[in-house]
Every structure is written in C-alpha cells, then in structure tokens.
Structure 1
Amino acid sequence: MTRRALVIGASGGIGAALCTALAKHGSEVTQISRTADGFDLTNPESVERVLTACHGPFDTVLVASGILATEGARPEKSLSEISAENMAQVMAVNAIGPALVLRNVPRLLPKDGRCVVGVLTARVGSIGDNHLGGWYSYRAAKAAANQIVRTAAIEIARKRKNAIVVSLHPGTVETPFTKAYPGHQKVAPGEAAANLVAVLDQLSPSQNGGFFDWAGKPVPW
C-alpha cells in the first residue's frame, strides 16, 4: 500500500523540503499552504474548510508552519520590548494554529496501524533548556505548542494505539525565516527535512507525546 503524507505549510522553506523528502521516501504527498490553498492558520474557518476537503487516511501528518516574529518586528531581547499585539499574533500562528490543525487530525489518521503526527516547534520552546533568556513571544508560543502536542498525543492514542504524536526541533534551517541571524550554525532545508523524515521512521508508539530534535534525541520540556 502506498504511504500517504499530509504537509501543512508546504510552501515554506522547510515545508517544501519535507514534501520532497517524503516523496523520495515513497510517500504520496498532499500539500497545504497559504499560497496554493488560501490556508490561514490563524483563521478557524479557513483551517476547517481546507482540512475538511482532505481525505485520509494519512500515515504521516506534519505541521511545518510558523513565524519568528510579526512583520517588521524582531524577537524581543528584553521585557521592555514586549508588545501585547505582537505576542498575540506569534501565539496565534505558532500555538493556536497547530491546535486548530490537531483538532482535525484524528479523522485523517488510520484507525489501525502505525501513524505519525509531527509538529515543528523549536528547542527555544524548551523551558528546561532556556539558559539565554529573551525571545519572549517565540519561546512562549513554542512552549505552548509543545503542551498542546503532548496533550493531543494522549487523547489520540486512546483510540489509536499505534499513533505517534510528537514535537520536533529541526535545528536552525537556512531559510528567509533565519536570514537575520547569521551567527547561528545552519543546515540546508533539504538536509533538515531528510533528518526529520529519518527521525519519524525511527519513532515507536512508546515515544508518543515526546519532543525530539533532528537527530532523534529527546529535548527537555
């Protein structure tokens, strides 16, 4: 049977690379993006409209959408830079958006057999691994997304014992998203995507609800 994958955020740097990597891995890939589908992660009606039109089952679902900061803004370096409006927008895209997607995911998964749902969050969303501070909105939104993924994993596994729902840290990927941060060690989107697909292949149901990096290593909550 042909494996089927659903990638949300398929027009972004990492999203497009994931589509390519999954196709090379033998999956039939359904792509969803703002560009092609008018998909607005912050609009519940848009999420429902687009995902209702999708027909499963998919054995792989990936959410690869996100923003570092609102347009024209940057991640906060200090408390004095916090803006309620900017923080709400970052939270809407990075946490509430994935929650709206996950609300639709159970019906898109097979009732039996192994399936994987991965939501790209970030290591900076780890509370235990936060040693530098700053980036309040982005950190908080990714931490919230991690909690949403963890909670969804528990619920989904009640009816699908072989489901694996996880948060994923892809590393710092070389995209327009990270262009303003030249000091970080970056990997090409294709390499990052291949790494993540390899991690997804290795996960077992016993790891459901976990948070893993691009090498398959657990990330502290």
Structure 2
Amino acid sequence: MHNIVVSGGSGAIGSAFVDELVRKYPHARIHSLSRSPDARVPEGVQWLQVDYLDEESLHAAAEQVAKEGAVDLMIVAGGILHQGDMMPEKSLRDLSAEKLLALFTANTVAPALTAKHFLPLLPRDRRGVFAALSARVGSISDNHLGGWYSYRASKAALNMFIRTAAIEIRRRNPQAIAAGLHPGTVESGLSQPFLRNVAPDKRFPPQYAVSRMMDVIATLTPADSGQCFAWDGSLIDP
C-alpha cells in the first residue's frame, strides 16, 4: 500500500481506521478527509478539510491526493443514523421530508460524490479498493423487523450505488474492487442510544471492528466487487 485515503476520518470508526492504517502501513502516504476544522490526526497523516456536498472542495482534495500517485485504498467511513432530536422512525407516522433528506444526504449523496472524484484515482493496472461503510439493515431481503425507514433506504441506495460503480470501474480495470462494509454494532456516538438493546458480546469497540474489516478488505477479490460484506467476512444479501 502506497497511497491511502480515509473519508470521514474524524469519526469514531474513521479515526480508528486511520490509526490502524498508520500501524499496518507505516510507510504509506495516508490522507484523512473530514469536515471538522479541529480534526486531530496521527503524526505523518495528511489531513484535508472537505465539504462532501461541494464538488469544488472534493475536486481540490482529489487533486492533492493524486500528487502521491494512484490510490491503493479508499475508505468512506462517514454517515449518520440520528441527529439531535431526529431519531430513526419506528413507524410510517414518524416519516418526514427532513429526516429522509438528512439521511440520504449523509449516507448516499456524500459517499456518491466522494466516489465520483476519488474512484478515478484507483490504479489502472493493479488491484485497488474502494470500500464504503454500509449496514446490514440496508439489505432488502434481510429486512424482517421494519422501521428505520430513512436509514434502511439510504443504505440500500448506497449499496446500489456501489454495485453500479463496480460495474463501471471494472471496464477500466478488471482488478479494481468497490465494496460495502458492515461494521456490526460499534460503540460510538452513532449507536449509543441503542446499545442498551444489544448484548455485550454483539457490540464492538471501533478498533476491533476496524481490525476485522481490514481483514475483510485484504481478502476481497475482483469477483467480490459490487457486493457488501459484514465485519466477519460474511456476504450480505441485497
């Protein structure tokens, strides 16, 4: 690995990815992208402030990253489940345009625009990986409980985007891989309001989830491109 990018590098999972990548690839050029102006990154990591809905900002960041050459690994770690008083819907009566737009913007639009500017930076002649954090609840076939309309739909849309992008990048480089990753229930601000309903052995600290997802990334092949995998390597059905 020579050139690595983590989008959403200031979040709980994103910062754990940055730390793990620094440990695993000490000689790589690692870039951490985030909107936060006070993001803290390990020594040697290049931090770039990015507005994910501003394509000029994304283009400028991509140009900066490209100075180091092709991107061997791109991880998109941003996303939201709730925000302030805005919580996941339990039923149709809880739906609102505000919730739908907020979650689709964070979980689908921002990763899609990020991919638009960074997927072209993957190598053209060797393996390169674009991995975006998705969620098992984005699986249509695995939805047996209902609820969480906006979050489920935004992650399902992200999975479709990844699938479609994988088809396109395969035409340019058959070795390129685009995949979704489900981190499991990670102990973070995103999951905090719901942890009381999760058994202790079913929730993980960010460092553990990231370590397992890195193992999954290492085993991905071009045949896996366009699919979504859980932290334990299991395939998540669409």
In the alignment, structure 1 segments of 5+ residues that lack a partner are none
Most deviating of 86-95 and 45-54: 45-54
The CA RMSD over aligned residues, in Å, is 1.4
Hey, what does 1:10 align to over in structure 2?
Answer: 9
Query: Can you give the 5+ residue segments of structure 2 that lack an aligned partner in the other structure?
Result: 40-47
SS in 1 for 2:177: strand
3-state SS of the aligned residue for 1:154? helix
Q: Distance in 2 between matches of 1:32 and 1:11?
A: 8
TM-score, length basis structure 2: 0.88
Distance in 1 between residues matched to 2:119 and 2:7, nearest whole Å: 15
Residues 17-166 of structure 1: pairs in structure 2 closer than 5 A: 17-26=16-25, 27-35=28-36, 36=39, 37-55=48-66, 56-166=69-179
Task: Give 2:118's aligned amino acid.
Answer: V
Contact 2:104/2:150, CA 8 A, preserved across alignment: yes
Name the TM-score, length of structure 1 as normaliser. 0.95
* CA offsets 1:144-179 (integer angstroms, 9 cap, x no match): 000000000000111111101101101111111111
Aligned-pair CA distance for 1:218? 0.4
Distance 1:155 1:79 in 2: 36
Q: Which residue of 2 aligns with 1:213?
A: 230
Go from structure 1 to structure 2 and tell me whether the alpha carbon gap of 1:43 and 1:85 turns closer, same or farther (over 3 Å shift): farther
Once residues 153 and 195 of structure 1 are traced to their aligned partners in structure 2, the CA distance between those partners, rounded to angstroms, is 23
SS of the residue corresponding to residue 104 of structure 1 reads helix
Identity across aligned pairs (percent)?
40
Q: Aligned with 1:105: secondary structure?
A: helix
What is the deviation of 1:52? 3.1
The separation in 2 between residues aligned to 1:72 and 1:41, in whole angstroms, is: 23
Task: Tell me by how many angstroms 1:54 deviates.
Answer: 2.0
